[in-house]
Amino acid sequence: PAIDHASLKLQSQLSKNQRANLEKRIEVIQTRIPALEAVAAELSLKMSQPEIAGDYEKLAAITQKLGETEALIKQLYEEWESAEEQLA
């Protein structure tokens, strides 16, 4: 059977586009993780302050926000790992 060069070129181009998208996503993740880790550290510090530690509502809100932030960090690390594997 004849080789469809246009089809091969399209597949190759899609692959290049997908690669570029993955590389861009990794760059975004590499920027977001340190920012989120800083937020998590700040929240942890707030939790240790007496005025927060003694106020259940404030402590609960900060604890929830910290949990959400840590979950997002974990999700981004997993996404980063997956993207790296796809590029390998």
- Per-residue pLDDT, 33: 98
pLDDT in tens, the chain (88 residues): 556 655 555 555 558 888 899 999 999 999 999 999 999 999 999 999 999 999 999 999 999 999 999 999 999 999 999 998 888 7
Residue 57 structural domain: 22-87
Quick one: tokens of 67?
């949990």
- Per-residue pLDDT, 6: 56
Q: Confirm whether 44 is domain-assigned.
A: yes
Q: Confirm whether 66 is domain-assigned.
A: yes
Give the list of residues 6+ apart from residue 66 with CB closer than 8 angstroms, or none.
Answer: 40, 43, 44, 47
Q: Confirm whether 75 is domain-assigned.
A: yes
- What span, in angstroms and rounded, lies between the C-alpha atoms of 44 and 39? 9
Domain count of the chain? 1
Q: Confirm whether 15 is domain-assigned.
A: no
Q: Confirm whether 8 is domain-assigned.
A: no
